[in-house]
């Protein structure tokens, strides 16, 4: 075990109060400096490196979007978008952003399975994205847009999120930062910037499946009601137009009269005009700290059986529980 890992083991959690809703990932990265071969080119990387460091050091045979990878400020790897898959002789197809660079590894970016995985996964990201770049505050400086252009996406396999009924309202309630969750790729950078870098404990990941979203540890519904201190770090790290500093949310949009970022979605949480109180963040309500029988940070009380959907966990097996599949068709 490396000393870095050892430290992670012994160090107490940063603050007991912060509950970002994400898993405690292990430290990733190679134990020692390593030389790996990427697309036939030898690359040397330092201890602690992952394969993406080697891929980024050269001109790879094929484009590797690595959309959720950040690689600075100890943010990530979240390793969720899977648009960084590469093939290795040693371990098959692996995510470059979180796979340790081990000495002697052979990596290919142009292997069929890996290239297909990057392609399909990028399309899957777009399938859940409100791709209205023309009214988006990140138009022209967006990592998703860049990735789609680099990968020469013409028509995403699964379309894009264009059913207006499915849009989440834009959270325009704060005077500093606007949230458009319809453009969020769930890279978790903002949550880590907020919790691990700024140690503010405002943002969290919440929900599961298609309901997964960024939210607030205080259970607040809007940015205005959250404990946000308006440091803006989240907007700085956000790769897309999901978190944008107010004032520039329309900066790069094509000036069509009357067509703006907020009315592109149509539903908005507006500022209520309440003055913001002094910044004494109360991280969470008391009872939300021990919800052992919940997984989604809901409001049912600790330790008791959840009243709904209790029985479908029991794998496939006995009685009524076994019959439960999803709703069909």
Q: Which residues bind ligand FES (CB under 6 A)?
A: 66-69, 79-84, 95, 97
Q: Which two tokens stand for residue 45?
A: 């990387």
Total interface residues for another protein by CB under 8 A: 78
21 backbone φψ class: left, alpha, beta (φ>0; ψ -120 to 50): left
The least distance separating ligand FES from the CB of residue 172, rounded to whole angstroms, comes to: 29
Question: Judged by CB, which is closer to ligand FES: 98, or 218?
Answer: 98
142 to 161, contacts with ligand SF4 by CB under 6 A? 142, 144-145
Strands 85-88, 106-108: parallel, antiparallel or unpaired by DSSP?
antiparallel
Q: Which of 46, 90, 110, 113 binds another protein (CB under 8 A)?
A: 113
Residue 207 three-state SS: coil
* Comparison of 147 and 250: residue with beta carbon closer to another protein: 147
Nearer to ligand SF4, 60 or 241 (CB): 241
Member of 207, 228, 236, 238 binding another protein (CB under 8 A): 207
Among 134, 212, 230, 260, which residue sits at the site for another protein (rule: CB under 8 A)?
212
User: Any alpha helices (H) in 161-206, and if so which ranges?
Assistant: 189-192
The answer to whether the CB of 150 falls within 8 A of the CB of 65 is: yes
Nearer to ligand SF4 (CB atom), residue 210 or residue 280 = 210
Q: How many alpha carbons fall within 13 Å on the CB side of residue 18?
A: 22
Scan residues 19-38 and list those touching another protein (CB under 8 A).
Answer: 19, 21-28
Residue whose CB is less far from ligand SF4, 96 or 243: 243
Q: Which is nearest to 297 in space by CA: 222, 212, 227?
A: 212
Distances (CA, A) of 82 to 1, 94, 123, 238: 27, 9, 11, 18
Residues 43 to 62 in contact with another protein, rule: CB under 8 A: none
Q: Which is nearer to ligand SF4, 66 or 142 (CB)?
A: 142
Question: Whole-number minimum distance, CB 91 to another protein, in Å?
Answer: 9
Select 59 or 211, whichever has its Cβ closest to another protein.
211
Q: CA-to-CA distance for 323 and 329, rounded, in angstroms?
A: 15
Query: Does 195 sit near ligand SF4 (CB under 6 A)?
Result: no
Q: Does 326 bind another protein (CB under 8 A)?
A: yes
Angstrom CA distances, 216 to 7, 205, 268, stand at 29, 8, 17
Residues 6+ apart with CB under 8 A from 275: none
Phi, psi (deg, nearest 5) at residue 25: -70, 150
Report yes or no: 143 and 83 within 8 Å, Cβ to Cβ.
no
**CA–CA gap between residue 168 and residue 267 (Å, rounded):** 7
Q: Is residue 314 a contact partner of residue 321, using CB atoms and an 8 Å limit?
A: yes
Residues 273-312 that bind another protein (CB under 8 A): 288-297, 305-306, 309-312
Does residue 165 belong to the site contacting another protein (CB under 8 A)? no
From the list another protein, ligand FES, ligand SF4, none, which binds 142 (C-beta under 5 to 8 Å, kind-based)? ligand SF4
Give contact residues for ligand SF4 (rule: CB under 6 A): 129, 131-133, 136, 138-139, 142, 144-145, 183-190, 214, 237-243
């Amino acid at each position: 075990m490396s000393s870095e890992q050892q430290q992670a083991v012994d160090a107490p959690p940063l603050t007991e109060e912060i509950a970002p809703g994400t898993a405690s990932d292990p430290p990733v990265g190679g134990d020692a400096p390593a030389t790996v071969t990427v697309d036939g080119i030898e690359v040397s990387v330092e201890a602690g490196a992952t394969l993406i460091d080697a891929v980024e050091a050269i001109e790879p045979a094929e484009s590797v979007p690595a959309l959720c990878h950040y690689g600075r400020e100890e943010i990530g790897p979240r390793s969720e978008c899977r648009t960084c898959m590469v093939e290795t002789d040693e371990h098959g197809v692996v995510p470059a952003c979180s796979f340790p660079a081990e000495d002697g590894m052979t990596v290919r970016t142009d292997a069929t399975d890996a290239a297909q995985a990057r392609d399909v996964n990028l399309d899957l990201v777009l399938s859940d994205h409100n791709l209205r770049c023309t009214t988006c505050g990140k138009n022209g400086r967006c990592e998703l847009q860049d990735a789609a252009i680099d990968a020469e996406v013409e028509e995403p396999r699964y379309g894009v999120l264009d059913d207006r009924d499915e849009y989440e309202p834009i959270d325009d309630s704060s005077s500093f930062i606007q949230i458009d969750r319809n453009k969020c790729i769930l890279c978790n950078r903002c949550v880590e910037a907020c919790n691990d870098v700024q140690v503010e404990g405002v943002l969290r990941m919440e929900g599961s499946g298609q309901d997964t979203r960024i939210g607030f540890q205080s259970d607040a519904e809007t940015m205005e009601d959250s404990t946000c201190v308006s440091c803006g770090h989240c907007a700085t790290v956000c790769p897309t137009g999901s978190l944008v500093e107010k004032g520039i949310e329309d900066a790069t949009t094509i000036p069509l009269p009357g067509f703006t970022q907020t009315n592109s979605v149509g539903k908005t949480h507006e500022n209520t005009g309440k003055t913001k109180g002094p910044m004494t963040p109360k991280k969470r309500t008391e009872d939300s700290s021990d919800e052992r029988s919940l997984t989604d940070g809901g409001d049912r009380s600790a330790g008791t059986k959840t009243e709904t959907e209790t029985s479908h966990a029991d794998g496939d097996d006995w009685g009524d529980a076994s019959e439960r599949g999803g709703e069909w068709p």
